[in-house]
């Protein structure tokens, strides 16, 4: 999996804009949490679908940005958390053990 590091607030508007042409995924990862590490590993070990960009946000280093993601996309902050951004909005979010590539892909096909 090719992660794009999410580290700047300006990237959120880029994600929103790009989501009109292709789905964008944000994975909010806590480097201090074993469940978060498990979720990240599940995503990395799955076959990565074509046509989706995956962003990785280290929410320990970028806590303020993580809070901004929650506010901008109108979701409750959780850790770990995955957000699917389509047409400028969060169309799906999941946390903890619910974070899997099959669950994410089911939302794209839905």
Query: 110 pLDDT band (50/70/90 cuts)?
Result: low
Structural domains for the chain: 3-109 (3.40.30.10)
31/58 Cα distance (integer angstroms): 7
Q: What confidence score (pLDDT) does residue 56 get?
A: 98
Tens-place pLDDT, residues 2-32: 999 999 999 999 999 999 999 999 999 999 9
Handedness of CA 70, 76, 79, 82 (dihedral sign): negative
Tens-place pLDDT, residues 30-41: 999 999 999 999
Its pTM stands at: 0.96
């Amino acid at each position: 999996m090719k992660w794009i590091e999410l580290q700047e607030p300006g990237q959120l508007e880029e994600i929103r804009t790009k989501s009109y042409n292709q789905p964008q995924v944000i994975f909010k990862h806590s480097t201090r949490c074993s469940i978060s590490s498990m979720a990240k590993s599940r995503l990395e070990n799955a076959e990565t679908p074509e046509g989706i960009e995956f962003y990785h946000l280290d929410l320990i280093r970028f806590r303020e940005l993580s809070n901004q993601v929650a506010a901008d996309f109108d979701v409750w902050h959780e850790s770990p958390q995955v957000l699917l951004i389509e047409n400028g909005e969060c169309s799906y979010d999941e946390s903890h053990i619910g974070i899997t590539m099959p669950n994410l892909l089911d939302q794209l096909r839905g």
